[in-house]
A and B are shown apart, each in its own frame.
Chain A
Amino acid sequence: MPLIDYIPAQTNIHFMRLRHWTFPFSAVLSLVAVLLFATMGFNLGIDFRGGTLIEAQTSQPAADIGALREHLTDLDVGDVQIQEFGSPRDVLIRVGAFGASDEAQQAIITKVRDVLGAEYSVRRVETVGPSVSGELVRQSTLALVLGAVAILAYLWFRFEWQFAVGAIVTTMHDIFVTLMIYSAFGIDFDLTSIAAILTIMGYSLNDTVVVYDRIREMLRRYKKLPLPDLLDIAVNATFSRTIIVSTTTFFATLALYFFGGEVLRGFSLAMMVGVVIGTYSTIFVAAPILIHLGLRSQTVAGPAKEEPEAVLGVDEAAKLSEAEAAIVDEPIAPAPAKSSGKGVAKGGKRPPARPAKA
């Protein structure tokens, strides 16, 4: 027996009705994201901009960043940024070498090393020349585009086109929001960020596909059930799974954020946000968007792969919702029509009767 039973075994939340709030919310979020990209831009790391990054550790109890800044500014090597990195002993020095040649960058490293002298030990040096950074930008963009295309192709092959489009829109939404975090907090955007974005893409899709799988199965079973009701049933059926997996994955990113070291902090933060937004979007974007993409029960062709009882249609749905309604119905905040009050078991004929708000 489970020790704790805090995950409601079966929920009956009217997610589809909430789309009148969540769609505008997601739209505004994406818009804010685009505005942020346009105004704040990204704090491009040296991978994409070229330049030099040096991590150093002082032998003293704490690094004197002020003095270091003074010395490094005297070098006249262009834009120098110095920041504490993880602990007071560690500093991260960034020399943005916009347009500097490869040779000039090597000269900069030597100069900075001289300034650091014996007091600091250099723990990490990264230099990316202008030609390489340009290639990395192209490669990364290509990776993201190819990723999206591959997924689209697979989903199209495996599902109907509405699902493929829905998954892509959802994924784009998640990527926008994650990018917004990078932009808003000025996190270094580098190759690791591309890895983070592709991972979030994979995670968000994984989440979405599990729900889509259930929706497709429901479509085959209950051919006459209005789509919004059907989607509600499918999302509720997968809801506990969605929450549980999001929680464990969130735990992993949390552990990475706090214990994984300074280098991975940006990556972990992005992943953390990605997990949360990926879960939100699965429920509130991926599923309801199918209504607007014109998915109909009839669209899903093919035989019901379930046993004969599966093709029962309306009666079966009614039976199912009866079981649902027996469970306490969770009221969700701003739902306008609180049709189903707490624990009122009037669900017997509810799903078929509920008007489709398409």
Chain B
Amino acid sequence: MLHFSRLKTTAILLTIAVGLLFALPNVLPQSALAYLPTWLASSRVTLGLDLQGGSHILLEVDGAALRKERTEQVRDEVRRVLRDQKIGYSNLAVRDTTVSLRLRDAADTQKAVTELRKLAAPVTNALFGNSSGEMDLLVSSGSDGAVTVQLTDAGLTARMRSAVDQSIEIIRRRIDQLGTVEPNIQRQGIDRILVQVPGLQDPQRLKNLLGQTAKLSFRMVDQSMSPQQALEGRPPPESEVLQGQDGQPYLVEKQVRVSGEDLVDAQPGFDQNSREPIVSFRFNNNGARRFAATTQDAVGRPFAIVLDNQVISAPVIREPILGGSGQISGSFTVQQANDLAILLRAGALPAPLKVVEERTVGPSLGADSINAGKTAAYVAGGLVAVFMIGVYGLFGLFALVALVVHIILMFSLQSVLGATLTLPGIAGVVLTIGMAVDSNVVIFERMRDEAREGRSAISAIDKGFVNALGTILDANITALATAVILFLMGGSGPVRGFAVTYILGLLTTMFTAYTLTRLMIAYWVKWRRPAKLPI
């Protein structure tokens, strides 16, 4: 066990050297990194959001809203189809995800069903991009002219999936506009999106940007009665009462004249006369044409600019707007105007998102945590060093060298793998300092045993390593099992960071405590030829 071929010695030393090299960028100042090749300079430990400061936000697509919207859309299509085909019906209603109606003449059933089936589209399989053979709508009929159109689960799931994809795209566009460093945006499960943004000064602003659907529409204000009357009595069927940003209710037509989808650009700016912050926008051809038509017909009447069912402003049209551009003023602050422009440029979310989990850490707390972690690591290291040297003398020193190399290797592995170091991860590193000497202690105690049984020093040292190996493997594999489970179940947060450092720690300690210590002791034995075990 104590013989090392030259090749093996070189291999061990080389491993350590490479480890050192890759851990090095972590302690170099930023200025020195510039001189290193990129592959090396980028080898730094990624700090978790809890250490560098930042926001971790888990968003959920509002499935209920998505289903409701889709069902109502289907209802409108059903109405259109039946009208086009001149099929009489009554009791068109929506319940959950089913649209039901009753045909006036039961004899039309066959024709109605055939026409309505044309609405259904095959659901594409998300994984392979081919058709799974399922349709997104299920049309069925009863004997007495009752017809139902049912949204299938497969269709709804596919819709949810595409809603999440779209949302991710839009969120990315919105956050990119903030100009912060590399956000991490990814899908989680079926209906969730994880957004991680490091180093953010104002997390509240981020949440405001993410929390808005940003559905913009231009509609006419209904002046047939006052909003108060509409609130007290019944609003006209084609209109609804919406709250304004100023707290006033507005009676607004349901029909959307131009929607935000037709916007091609939106920029914050200042009104030339009032110097108030505004958002100026430009439509595409389609939008410009419709906006022109609307404003031409309605000079002198107010129209409403509606964002997410809230009236931002309701200006009176003074003259037809033919150029396809306009501006929104709504007593904004500069930042509000800025954010509205971002939202309009990035586009609307397909469904509302809600924040189901948030973890935000300010940069100052992160820095404090790192410092506290460092102090704890130094104190732990110091205590363990004194103790180990106290108990084992020279061999204790060997164990400490192994411990230092172990910590360096841990950091270099973490840097190369791009694993994230979190606060619990730091705790893991500190704990490892205490536990890493375990393998060495097992070996040294074995040596003592063997020496007591009357072996020569060299034989005892050799036997110590041989006999300890099985124990070390058993002990570390069981610990590894719990660590891996922690990793798998830890989700995306800080606990996973703990599991990562713990796993890496167990792996490197097996190398340093067993192989490296053995190498050091082997060379020492060759040099000193000890007659007596020094421990």
Q: Nearest Cβ distance between residue B520 and chain A, in whole angstroms?
A: 17
- Residues in A whose Cβ lies below 8 Å from that of B437: 244-245, 248
Whether A260 pairs with B376 at a CB distance below 8 angstroms is: yes
- A261's nearest neighbour on chain B, judged by CB, is B372
Q: Nearest Cβ distance between residue A244 and chain B, in whole angstroms?
A: 5
Q: Which of A242-266 contact B (CB under 8 A)?
A: 244-245, 247-256, 258-261, 263-264
Q: Nearest Cβ distance between residue B441 and chain A, in whole angstroms?
A: 5
Question: Which of A4, A126, A151, A252 is close to B482, meaning CB atoms less than 8 Å apart?
Answer: A151
Q: Nearest Cβ distance between residue A247 and chain B, in whole angstroms?
A: 6
Q: Which of B196-213 contact A (CB under 8 A)?
A: 203-204, 207, 211
Q: Which of B392-442 contact A (CB under 8 A)?
A: 392-393, 396, 423-424, 426-428, 430-435, 437-438, 441-442
Q: Nearest Cβ distance between residue B252 and chain A, in whole angstroms?
A: 24
Q: Is the interface of A mostly helix, strand, loop or mixed?
A: helix
Whether A131 pairs with B358 at a CB distance below 8 angstroms is: no
Task: Say yes or no: is A357 at the interface (Cβ < 8 Å to chain B).
Answer: no
Question: Which of A199, A238, A247, A252 is close to B502, meaning CB atoms less than 8 Å apart?
Answer: A199
Assembly CA distance A129 to B359 (angstroms):
11
Assembly CA distance A210 to B441 (angstroms):
11
Whether A102 pairs with B60 at a CB distance below 8 angstroms is: yes
Whether B485 pairs with A147 at a CB distance below 8 angstroms is: yes
- Residues in A whose Cβ lies below 8 Å from that of B427: 256, 260, 264, 267-268
Whether B423 pairs with A140 at a CB distance below 8 angstroms is: no
Task: Say yes or no: is A183 at the interface (Cβ < 8 Å to chain B).
Answer: no
Task: Say yes or no: is A24 at the interface (Cβ < 8 Å to chain B).
Answer: no
Whether A4 pairs with B430 at a CB distance below 8 angstroms is: no
Q: Which of B471-486 contact A (CB under 8 A)?
A: 471, 474-479, 481-483, 485-486
- Residues in A whose Cβ lies below 8 Å from that of B211: 106
- Residues in B whose Cβ lies below 8 Å from that of A253: 431, 434
- Residues in A whose Cβ lies below 8 Å from that of B361: 123-124
Interface residues on A, range: 35 or more
Task: Say yes or no: is B491 at the interface (Cβ < 8 Å to chain A).
Answer: yes
Whether A263 pairs with B423 at a CB distance below 8 angstroms is: yes
Whether A206 pairs with B479 at a CB distance below 8 angstroms is: yes
Interface residues on B, range: 35 or more
Question: Which of A126, A131, A155, A251 is close to B359, meaning CB atoms less than 8 Å apart?
Answer: A126
Whether B362 pairs with A123 at a CB distance below 8 angstroms is: yes
Task: Say yes or no: is B379 at the interface (Cβ < 8 Å to chain A).
Answer: yes
Task: Say yes or no: is B448 at the interface (Cβ < 8 Å to chain A).
Answer: yes
- Residues in B whose Cβ lies below 8 Å from that of A276: none
Task: Say yes or no: is A28 at the interface (Cβ < 8 Å to chain B).
Answer: no
In the complex with contacts A147-B481, A263-B369, A271-B431, A132-B387 CB distance below 8 A: no
Measuring CB to CB, which residues of chain A are less than 8 angstroms from any residue of chain B? 1-4, 7, 9-10, 55, 57, 102-103, 105-106, 109-110, 113, 121-129, 131-132, 136, 139-140, 142-143, 146-147, 150-151, 154-155, 158, 191-192, 194-195, 198-199, 201-203, 205-206, 209-210, 213-214, 237-238, 240-241, 244-245, 247-256, 258-261, 263-264, 267-268, 271, 323
Measuring CB to CB, which residues of chain B are less than 8 angstroms from any residue of chain A? 58, 60, 203-204, 207, 211, 354-362, 364-365, 368-369, 372-373, 375-377, 379-380, 383-384, 387-393, 396, 423-424, 426-428, 430-435, 437-438, 441-442, 445, 448-449, 452-453, 470-471, 474-479, 481-483, 485-486, 488-491, 493-495, 498-499, 502, 534-535
With A3-B389, A255-B377 already in contact, 11 other A-B pairs whose C-beta atoms are closer than 8 Å: A10-B452, A123-B361, A125-B203, A127-B355, A132-B356, A143-B488, A155-B478, A202-B482, A210-B474, A240-B445, A249-B435
